[in-house]
């Protein structure tokens, strides 16, 4: 791993929060992700299962975490299983966790090899009544490949058909949105690295550069600061491309007079930043571009004020839509009378602002939580309004990452330039 060690107290606390929510005489099993294949003998870069990482900090394949907090023998109340290494594995793949290193990382005292799991699990299952199993139940998930968790669910229910099975997701999706200070610090690190990348490209961009050259500048700065790289496929969208919400081709030349929309973020220690900025290719906004930019910025700031404890995403998005409606009328894009007579189920502003304003952020870029869960201190959200005018080839989105507190929001991207005048100044110094 490129990132610096994380204090194991984070994972000890997370397991404690989890086990407090279990029924009596229960067991929990969390599996790592698989190493996914490409073609021939190639594989994708390994990405750890977010739930397992949240509970253990172990960033390695073939890992299992077994929790049984009421088990009679204290030694087996928390057991971590990691892949047994060998001289051949060390030669071909490099270092793997030793048992001592796994304990130091996770805080779990009992560490065994993964090959020992079934024997220990049989012993645990003889004493427990309820078994909590995991799955990916994200509201936007499209899962077409069978996961390690899914295979385990099948095996477990076949091998132990008479136990009571429970879904782990409702508990995890309730716990993970509330970030501890250690997690907020890791997210801040990801945002700080993202800032370095953005400031680098402000000095680099000029008419004639290609979108992929800009992508390369971001990647260079991210990697040299201990990031694994981009938190998600980067969007480097110039001109009309900025009106394509998930544009990732990044293969066009940036032209004088156009805007570029960047939706990028660095990943650090599996935690993710998610930033969007829009800048002029030539370093100067036109009057029209600046008017639209400042309208988006005003909506952004109003939306931040609505990130308060007790609010919920559906109502929050509805209120942000009203603010956007007003700005679009001011820009001459909507007619006040038409807005007054619109179908409330299909508001007119969605022609120019067709996506949501915010999502949870953390170990997943679109982090887990019910959209009906009330906002609480410790939740981290993006705020990302945008205006997209396809007829004018203008797409502007502004996105920061914010922590809800009891006294307003902490902006993790407060140091990243966002004012139009500051961006112009930095591009022309």
Instruction: List, by residue number, the catalytic residues.
Output: 41, 246, 263, 274, 355, 359, 366, 384, 388, 397, 399
* DSSP letter, residue 360: B
Backbone angles phi, psi at 86, to 5 degrees: -155, 170
- Whether the CB-CB separation of 125 and 93 falls below 8 Å is answered with no
Which residues, in sequence order, are CB contacts of 141 under 8 Å at separation 6+? none
- From residue 130, how far is each of 51, 152, 161, 169, 311 by CA, in Å? 19, 16, 12, 15, 34
Q: For residues 379 and 409, what is the distance between their CA atoms, to the nearest angstrom?
A: 10
* 93 Cα distance to chain centroid: 28
Q: For residues 280 and 424, what is the distance between their CA atoms, to the nearest angstrom?
A: 8
Which three-class secondary structure string do you get for 369-396? CCCCCCCCCCCEEEECCEEEEHHHCEEE
* DSSP letter, residue 255: P
Q: For residues 120 and 58, what is the distance between their CA atoms, to the nearest angstrom?
A: 20
- Whether the CB-CB separation of 38 and 136 falls below 8 Å is answered with no
DSSP one-letter string for 199-225: HHHHHH--TT-BHHHHHHHHHHHHHTT
Q: If we measure between CA atoms, which residue out of 382, 377, 368 comes closest to residue 412? A: 382
Burial class (CB in 10 A: 0-12, 13-18, 19+), 353: buried
Q: For residues 174 and 179, what is the distance between their CA atoms, to the nearest angstrom?
A: 11
């Amino acid at each position: 791993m490129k990132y610096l060690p994380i204090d194991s107290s984070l994972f000890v606390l997370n397991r404690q929060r989890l086990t407090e929510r279990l029924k009596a005489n229960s067991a929990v099993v969390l599996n790592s992700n698989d190493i996914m294949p490409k073609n021939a003998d190639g594989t994708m870069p390994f990405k750890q299962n977010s739930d397992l990482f949240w509970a253990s900090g172990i960033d390695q394949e073939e890992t299992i975490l077994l929790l049984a907090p009421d088990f009679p023998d204290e030694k087996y109340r928390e057991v971590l299983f990691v892949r047994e290494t060998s001289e051949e594995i060390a030669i071909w793949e490099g270092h793997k966790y030793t048992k001592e290193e796994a304990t130091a990382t996770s805080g779990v005292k009992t560490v065994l090899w993964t090959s020992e799991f079934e024997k220990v699990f049989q012993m645990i299952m003889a004493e427990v009544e309820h078994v909590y199993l995991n799955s990916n139940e994200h509201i936007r998930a499209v899962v077409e490949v069978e996961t390690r968790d899914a295979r385990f669910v099948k095996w477990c229910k076949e091998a132990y058909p008479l136990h009571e099975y429970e879904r782990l997701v409702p508990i995890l999706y309730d716990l993970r949105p509330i970030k501890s200070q250690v997690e907020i610090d890791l997210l801040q690190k990801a945002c700080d690295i993202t800032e370095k990348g953005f400031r680098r490209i402000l000095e680099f961009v000029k008419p004639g550069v290609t979108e992929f050259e800009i992508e390369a500048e971001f990647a260079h700065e991210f990697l040299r600061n201990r990031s694994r790289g981009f938190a998600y496929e980067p969007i480097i969208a110039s001109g009309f491309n900025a009106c394509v919400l998930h544009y990732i081709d990044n293969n066009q030349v940036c032209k004088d007079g156009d805007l570029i929309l960047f939706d990028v973020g660095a990943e650090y220690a599996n935690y993710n930043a998610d930033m969007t900025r829009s800048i002029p290719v030539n370093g100067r906004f036109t009057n029209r571009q600046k008017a639209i930019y400042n309208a988006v910025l005003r909506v952004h700031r109003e939306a931040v004020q609505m990130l308060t404890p007790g609010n919920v995403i559906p109502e929050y998005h509805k209120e942000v839509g009203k603010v956007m409606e007003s700005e679009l009328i001011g820009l001459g894009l909507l007619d006040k009378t038409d807005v007054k007579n619109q179908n409330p189920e299909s508001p007119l502003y969605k022609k120019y602002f067709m996506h949501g304003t915010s999502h949870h952020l953390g170990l997943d870029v679109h982090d887990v939580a019910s959209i009906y869960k009330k906002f609480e201190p410790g939740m981290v959200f993006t705020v990302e309004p945008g205006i997209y005018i396809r007829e004018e080839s203008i797409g502007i989105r502004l996105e920061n990452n914010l922590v809800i507190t009891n006294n307003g929001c902490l902006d993790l991207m407060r140091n990243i330039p966002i004012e139009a005048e500051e961006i112009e100044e930095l591009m022309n110094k």
